[in-house]
Amino acid sequence: DGGITQSPKYLFRKEGQNVTLSCEQNLNHDAMYWYRQDPGQGLRLIYYSQIVNDFQKGDIAEGYSVSREKKESFPLTVTSAQKNPTAFYLCASSPQLGQGARETQYFGPGTRLLVL
């Protein structure tokens, strides 16, 4: 079955530690995205990538970094500079670069990050 996988489901971070969240898709989608969701809140965009080796900052990129070395993979690193990382992180992809309004985003199951 095609889809988006995120791992791990739960992740614990110690103070001063960098952690990396995995996101893989086998849908052959061009664009991929990372969102953060805090309890009772909507989704906020962290980073997005339209093609391999290219990515752009979203609304809350500070303290995060990404890479897009392969079309199917878009890992997110939460660095020690992110002072409040506890949240639910969602990865998404969309199939049609350039279709704008018609594009549908497909989401992964999410990773819940907790700070020890």
Partner 1 sequence: DAKTTQPNSMESNEEEPVHLPCNHSTISGTDYIHWYRQLPSQGPEYVIHGLTSNVNNRMASLAIAEDRKSSTLILHRATLRDAAVYYCILRDLNSGGYQKVTFGIGTKLQVIP
> What is the sign of the dihedral through the CA atoms of 63, 104, 39 and 14?
negative
Q: Are 105 and 93 in contact (CB under 8 A)?
A: yes
Residues 27, 30: Cα–Cα separation, whole Å: 9
Q: Among 63, 65, 72, 103, which residue interacts with partner 1 (rule: CB under 8 A)?
A: 103
- Closest CB to partner 1 among 60 and 115? 60
Please choose, out of 14-22, 61-69, 72-80, 104-112, the segment that lies near partner 1 by the rule CB under 8 A.
Answer: 104-112
**Residues with Cβ within 8 Å of residue 46, at least 6 apart in sequence:** 34, 35, 36, 58, 59, 60, 61, 64, 66, 76, 89
* Residue 5 binding partner 1, by CB under 8 A: no
| Chain residues 41-70 in contact with partner 1, contact rule CB under 8 A | 41-43, 45, 48, 50, 56, 58-59
The footprint of partner 1 (CB under 8 A) covers 4, 31, 33, 35, 40-43, 45, 48, 50, 56, 58-59, 88, 90-92, 97-98, 100-110, 112
